[in-house]
Amino acid sequence: MRLEQLCSFKFQHLDWSGKGSHAMKKLRILIIDSEPRWIDFAKNELSPFEIVVAPDTKTALAELEDDQFDLVIASSRRLDALEIIAREYSDKLFIVTTVHPTTQEALAAYRLGAMRYFPKSFRQQDLLNHVSEVIPASVNAQ
């Protein structure tokens, strides 16, 4: 999704409730990962969204219990969390990132319901493009 499409998409999420100003509702993303350099990159790359980071499965599940998220991005090292999310939060969309992609890991991620499985990249727009492809799909289905 290009910037103009993202802006158009975000326009659909304006708060027209009449309470306060017409503030834009930021879409929320939970990132389950503990690699500081990649988390910093992801926060910067996904600046149009509200980002919450959970470094481990326990924290991620607590966040999901307390808050609503439009998307979960999880490290392939957290497939244990994805198993629980797939079972207990089946309405959640998630994508999986990995350092070393393998066929077995990809199959496991897709069997759990991942919308995307891709190698971690530090190239600009890569992560945003993956996220932008998944999030509009969820809105159109509602």
Q: What is the pLDDT of residue 122?
A: 85
CA distance 95 to 114: 5
| Residue keyed to tokens 């926060």 | 43
Question: Are the C-beta atoms of residues 105 and 86 closer than 8 Å to each other?
Answer: no
pLDDT at 26: 84
E strand or H helix at 138, and its extent?
Answer: helix 126-141
Q: List Cβ neighbours of 49 (8 Å cut-off, separation of 6 or more).
A: 26, 27, 28, 29, 70, 131
Confidence of residue 24 (pLDDT cuts 50, 70, 90): low
pLDDT in tens, 26-59: 899 999 999 999 999 999 999 989 999 999 999 9
- pTM reported for the whole predicted model: 0.78
Q: Which of 2-6, 36-40, 58-62, 116-120 has the lowest mean pLDDT?
A: 2-6
